[in-house]
């Protein structure tokens, strides 16, 4: 491994889990002490709820994955909980397995789109869904009282078992969905390039594509060695190799996933990006053509989904950022499809979690039945541009005070503070500012019909934030939840 200096950060605890860089001192990175502490707290939380028979665990392909997995499994057993280990797997597969195993919950060892020096513990309830804000706070409170947690004696240790069957079970579940049209996909004899980012997608995505009858599969970054070939977030600036290979191989489509295979984006046959924001838009268009109903995405997602939903006679609802928030809103409004603009697709008939594998199957069905190539399919959707930016959070930064100053500056425009700060401008342009659930950063997203406008809005907002940071402000710590 080439020498590199890793930026060590404080642990980030939120509804998206407990994550940090591997190493450093406890509380300032994801150390063995932190892993045991939070796993013990989660186990104690299950015990207090009276349902702690079994927990399903799994990991992505990170170099630290096995080390973290071993600590998690041993700690759960020491709390008297049986462990079912899926080993190398995907986040949606663990979510499905929790329900299939009738387990009390699940733990996924993955930092999703974060770089390779990161890892995390994603916590699930008995429904295979992320803990909500109240449940997450309960676990965090228990983690602060570790001396009050008691481990079992030798005769009550939990059992440990592995299960390698869930790859096939997950695929079979997807193939059974009535809108997955395997015959139509097979007839197209697709040639597809997959960027597997040296993780679980190298196993799971090709297995799914073979089951769907894809003619030829070319895999990039297929060695599961814990060393990601590029930044693992599936954004255009990280996918130059995939775009080049799609054109070089005369492929029909390129597919990119993140390390735990819950986010998804496509590259068109001409090497252009379909757009991660439009993964959900296209799949929603397909689903709504057959199932009338409502849709949900988070506040940071493109308004193109709203237009497509209303075209089909449905109603669109926004939700705060975080998979659990989107799921809760989907249940409230009985959405038939939902997700996030980062390429996360949630198909409630399968399970309430982002699932790149389900997204691939539905997108390929849509593409095959449309009779179009990917670039032509993309052109049928409204064009919006989202400028995605970020500013690093510093210790002691009072984020809420900063957001309130920005809100005051733009008080002539409609605002929403349900999740950070959202400002609505003329012509349906908007900007949204919030602390990330997964990184020590402020996210600044702006959307417009025009790319230049979106970039200008985001740039001006970043200037305003930096100006507020440089002003004297009341001391306080920023919220990362």
Asked if the structure places residue 480 within a domain, the reply is no
Residues 395 and 458 in one domain: yes
Say whether both 215 and 326 belong to one domain.
Answer: yes
Domains in the chain, number: 3
> Of 379, 403, 434, at which residue does a domain stop?
379
Q: Which two tokens stand for residue 70?
A: 């071993």
Closest Cα to residue 219, out of 236, 239, 237, 197? Answer: 197
Say yes or no: 256 and 320 in one domain: yes
Kindly state whether residues 152 and 234 are assigned to the same domain: no
For the whole model, what pTM was predicted? 0.92
CATH of residue 201 = 3.40.120.10
Instruction: For residues 230 and 349, state if they share a domain.
Output: yes
Q: Which of 103, 137, 164 is the last residue of a domain?
A: 164
* Same domain for 394 and 351: no
Rounded CA separation 9/352 (Å):
31
Q: Quick one: 83 and 32 in the same domain?
A: yes
Q: Which of 455, 444, 430 is nearest to 303 (CA)?
A: 430
Question: What count of Cα atoms within 13 Å lies in the side-chain half-sphere of residue 107?
Answer: 32
Domain that residue 406 falls in: 385-470
Whether 7 is in a domain gets the answer no
Q: Is residue 2 part of a domain?
A: no
**Which DSSP helix (H) or strand (E) runs through 21?**
strand 17-21
- Cα 183 to chain centroid distance, Å, stands at 30
Last residue of a domain, one of 164, 193, 209: 164
Q: How far apart are CA 413 and CA 179, in angstroms?
A: 42
Q: Clarify whether residues 374 and 401 are in a common domain.
A: no
Per-residue pLDDT of the chain (481 residues; tens, 9 = 90+): 333 434 445 678 888 889 999 998 998 899 999 999 999 999 999 999 987 789 999 999 999 999 999 999 999 999 999 999 999 999 999 999 999 999 999 999 999 999 999 999 999 999 999 999 999 999 999 999 888 889 999 999 999 999 999 999 999 999 999 999 999 999 999 999 999 999 999 999 999 999 999 999 999 999 999 999 999 998 899 999 999 999 999 999 999 999 999 999 999 999 999 999 999 999 999 999 999 999 999 999 999 999 999 999 999 999 999 999 999 999 999 999 999 999 999 999 999 999 999 999 999 999 999 999 999 999 999 999 999 998 887 777 788 888 999 999 999 999 999 999 999 999 999 999 998 877 778 899 999 999 999 999 999 999 998 888 777 544 433 332 2
Comparing CA positions, the residue from 324, 265, 332 lying closest to residue 95 is: 324
| 49 and 182 both lie in a single domain | no
């Amino acid at each position: 491994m080439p020498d590199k200096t890793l930026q060590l950060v404080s642990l980030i605890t939120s509804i998206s889990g407990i994550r940090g860089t591997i190493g450093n001192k406890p509380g300032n990175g994801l150390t063995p002490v932190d892993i045991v502490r939070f796993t013990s707290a989660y186990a104690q939380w299950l015990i207090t709820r009276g349902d702690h028979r079994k927990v399903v665990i799994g990991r992505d392909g990170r170099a630290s994955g096995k080390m973290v997995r071993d600590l998690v499994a041993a700690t759960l057993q020491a709390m008297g909980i049986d462990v079912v280990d899926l080993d190398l797997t995907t986040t949606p597969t663990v979510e499905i397995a929790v329900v299939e195993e009738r387990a009390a919950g699940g733990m996924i060892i993955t930092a999703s789109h974060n770089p390779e020096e990161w890892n995390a513990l994603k916590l699930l309830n008995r429904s295979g869904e992320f803990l909500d804000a109240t449940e997450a706070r309960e676990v965090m409170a228990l983690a602060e009282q570790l001396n009050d947690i008691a481990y079992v004696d030798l005769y009550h240790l939990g059992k440990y078992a592995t299960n390698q069957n869930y790859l096939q079970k997950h695929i079979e579940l997807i193939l059974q969905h009535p809108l997955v049209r395997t015959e139509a996909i097979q007839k197209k004899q697709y040639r597809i390039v997959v960027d597997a980012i040296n993780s679980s997608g190298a196993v799971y995505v090709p297995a799914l594509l073979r089951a769907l009858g894809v003619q030829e599969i070319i895999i990039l970054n297929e060695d599961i060695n814990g060393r990601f070939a590029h930044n693992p977030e599936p954004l255009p600036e990280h996918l130059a190799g995939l775009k080049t290979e799609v054109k070089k191989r005369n492929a029909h489509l390129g597919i990119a996933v993140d390390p735990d295979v819950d986010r998804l984006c496509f590259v068109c046959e001409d090497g252009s990006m379909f757009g991660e924001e439009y993964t959900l838009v296209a799949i929603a268009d397909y689903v709504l053509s057959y199932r009338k109903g409502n849709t949900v995405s988070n506040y940071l997602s493109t308004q193109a989904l709203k237009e497509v939903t209303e075209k089909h006679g449905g109603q669109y609802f926004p939700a705060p950022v975080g998979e659990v928030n989107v799921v809760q809103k989907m249940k409230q409004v009985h959405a038939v499809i939902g997700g996030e603009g980062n390429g996360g697709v949630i198909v409630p008939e399968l399970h309430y979690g982002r699932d790149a594998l389900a997204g691939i199957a539905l997108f390929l069905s849509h593409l095959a039945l449309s009779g179009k190539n990917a670039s032509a399919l993309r052109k049928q959707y409204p064009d919006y541009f989202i400028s995605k930016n970020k500013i690093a959070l510093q210790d002691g930064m009072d984020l809420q005070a900063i957001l309130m100053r920005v809100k005051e500056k733009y008080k002539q425009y409609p605002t929403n503070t349900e999740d950070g700060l959202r400002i609505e401008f003329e012509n349906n342009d908007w900007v949204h500012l919030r602390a990330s659930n997964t990184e020590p950063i402020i996210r600044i997203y702006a959307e417009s019909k025009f790319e230049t406008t979106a970039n200008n809005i985001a740039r001006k907002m970043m200037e305003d934030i930096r100006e507020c940071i440089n002003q004297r402000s009341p001391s306080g710590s920023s919220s990362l939840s």
